[in-house]
């Protein structure tokens, strides 16, 4: 009779302890890491264009960010000479920044008289 009682005890241990341990672990996880839930809901709330732009802005240098912010505020299109004037960068520095951005397909440059028309890449705008 004692032997059958031990077998019943061994059956109930996993049935009760495993789910209880799982629930305690899940509650601890939710308490310790609430920002994970919040982050995913905010990412879904942002439009795809804004998500792409934010991702790009995270990897840019400060001077590159300044140029991109200027382009965004101007509707995505500006002349290189205007960018140089509004940022206060020299023509050479502006050219180097725009070259770095164009090699990463963040901006496009099109000849426009004696300067260039700079536009944000389509994948950032649309």
Same domain, 51 and 84: yes
Same domain, 121 and 59: yes
Tokens representing residue 92 in the block: 């050479």
In three-state form (DSSP H/G/I as H, E/B as E, the rest C), the secondary structure along 13-31 is HHHHHHHHHHHHHHHHHHH
Same domain, 8 and 61: no
Same domain, 52 and 26: no
Backbone dihedral region of 105: left (phi > 0), alpha (psi from -120 to 50 degrees) or beta? left
- For residue 7, the enclosing domain spans 2-43
Query: Tell me, what's the pLDDT at 19?
Result: 82
* Whole-number average pLDDT of the chain: 84
Query: Tell me, what's the pLDDT at 47?
Result: 62
Same domain, 36 and 58: no
Task: Give 110 or 41, the one with higher predicted confidence.
Answer: 110
Same domain, 103 and 58: yes
Tokens representing residue 117 in the block: 């028309």
Same domain, 62 and 114: yes
What's the structural domain count of the chain? 2
The helix/strand/coil state of 107 is: strand
Same domain, 55 and 115: yes
Q: What is the pLDDT of residues 32-51, one digit of tens each?
A: 876 665 555 555 555 666 78
Q: What is the pLDDT of residues 3-32, one digit of tens each?
A: 666 667 677 777 778 788 888 888 888 888
pTM over 0.75: no
Same domain, 35 and 59: no
Contact of 107 with 113, CB cutoff 8 Å: no
Give Cβ neighbours of residue 46 (< 8 Å, ≥ 6 apart). 54
* CATH number of the domain encompassing residue 77: 1.10.10.10
């Amino acid at each position: 009779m004692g032997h059958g009682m031990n077998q019943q005890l061994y059956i109930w241990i996993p049935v009760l302890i495993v789910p209880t341990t799982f629930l305690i672990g899940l509650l601890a996880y939710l308490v310790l890491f609430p920002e994970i839930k919040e982050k995913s809901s905010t990412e879904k709330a942002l439009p795809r264009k804004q998500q792409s732009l934010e991702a790009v802005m995270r990897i840019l240098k400060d001077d590159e960010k300044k140029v991109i912010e200027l382009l965004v505020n101007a509707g995505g299109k500006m002349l290189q000479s205007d960018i140089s004037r509004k940022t206060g960068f020299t023509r050479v520095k502006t050219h180097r920044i725009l070259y770095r951005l164009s090699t990463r397909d963040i901006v496009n440059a099109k000849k426009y008289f004696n300067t260039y028309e700079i536009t944000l890449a389509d994948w950032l705008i649309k």
